Amino acid sequence: MWFWLSIIALLFWSGSDLFSKIGCRGSDDKLSHLKMVIAVGVVMGLHACWEIFIGGVEISWQIIWTYLPVSILYILSMTLGYIGLRYIELSISSPICNASGALVAVAALVTGDEVYPPLVLIAIALVCIGVIGLGVVESREDDELRKARQDAGNFRYAKSWLALALPIAYCLLDAAGTFADNIVLETLDEASANVAYELTFLCAGAVAFVYAVLVKKDRLIPKLELPKYIGAVCETVGQLAYIYAIADSEHLAMSAPIISAYCMVSVIWSRIFLKEKLSWKHYLMIALVIIGIVIMGVFDI
């Protein structure tokens, strides 16, 4: 089952990218990122209830408090990612966000005695070069060329430091969360930690609902909210498939790179469904990032 679970994780996580982008890209809805948090909180909260009452997963306030710093880092990173989807193409945002694995590897190299094979070091370098290269390409692209290639998608993004800063901030926070996750999970059961994370996301969704709907008096229009909930379901299903796929340790060397390539599928979806067009320089940098991510997936970094 590891292969099909890996494919499910790849498809659903790339689907989460696509539908989150659709749900958050409206320039008129300045609170779309908070509504996305509400959607993910609702879906994850329902799944947490299933795990507790049907699956029998152990949960307690102690587990929730122990895992809280990790949960906060992940939730903040995802919220910033949702904001970023308003300002930049998914084709660029997704590879940058998924470069967090390279930062975790760098942190492990700097802070510990971790020794990686030469191929992993090359992969880390490719990801770093690709992300930095994307920033350079974005900043130096001619305004007229940018406008021309964005016309097909009917969404125009101007040059902005915020456009790149938000996915990079996601990458940094997600890397910090992953690094902390590895430490905290030495003392917690993985299923219990995941439920603690989902319950914390439910609380974040409740706070976002109070602010967006009750305080700011913004309306939740079903037609506009539907993509957000589809994205939230995709995120939760992908996470569940991922957990069981990597649990098969005998095939981890094959399942990890399949799953880690989901940002490549996100780029394909954005080209097909969102009509995003990038320059060849963009695609070259994206290719370097994806190659590096897949290599690190082989070594489960």
Six token digits for residue 211: 């602010």
Q: What is the pLDDT of residue 253?
A: 62
Q: What is the pLDDT of residue 72?
A: 96
CA neighbor of 200 nearest in space, from 59, 296, 93: 59
CA neighbor of 273 nearest in space, from 35, 15, 46: 15
CA dist 252 and 216 (Å) reads: 47
**16-34 pLDDT tens trace:** 999 999 998 876 788 999 9
Q: What is the pLDDT of residue 106?
A: 76
The total of other beta-carbon atoms located within 10 Å of residue 113's CB is: 6
Q: What pLDDT tens digit does each residue of the chain (301 aa) get?
A: 778 888 898 899 999 999 999 998 876 788 999 999 999 999 999 999 999 999 999 999 999 999 999 999 999 999 999 998 888 888 888 888 888 777 777 777 777 666 778 888 888 888 888 888 888 887 787 777 777 777 766 676 766 777 889 999 998 998 888 888 878 888 888 889 999 999 999 999 999 999 999 999 998 989 989 999 999 999 999 988 888 887 676 776 677 777 778 888 898 898 889 888 888 888 999 899 888 888 877 776 5
- Phi/psi for 209 (5° steps) reads -65, -45
CA dist 128 and 89 (Å) reads: 19
Q: What is the pLDDT of residue 158?
A: 65
Q: What is residue 113's three-state secondary structure?
A: coil
**237-267 pLDDT tens trace:** 998 888 888 767 677 667 777 777 888 889 8
CA dist 71 and 91 (Å) reads: 26
**Whole-model pTM?**
0.85
CA dist 6 and 16 (Å) reads: 15
Six token digits for residue 200: 């914390």
The total of other beta-carbon atoms located within 10 Å of residue 38's CB is: 27
CA dist 226 and 2 (Å) reads: 30
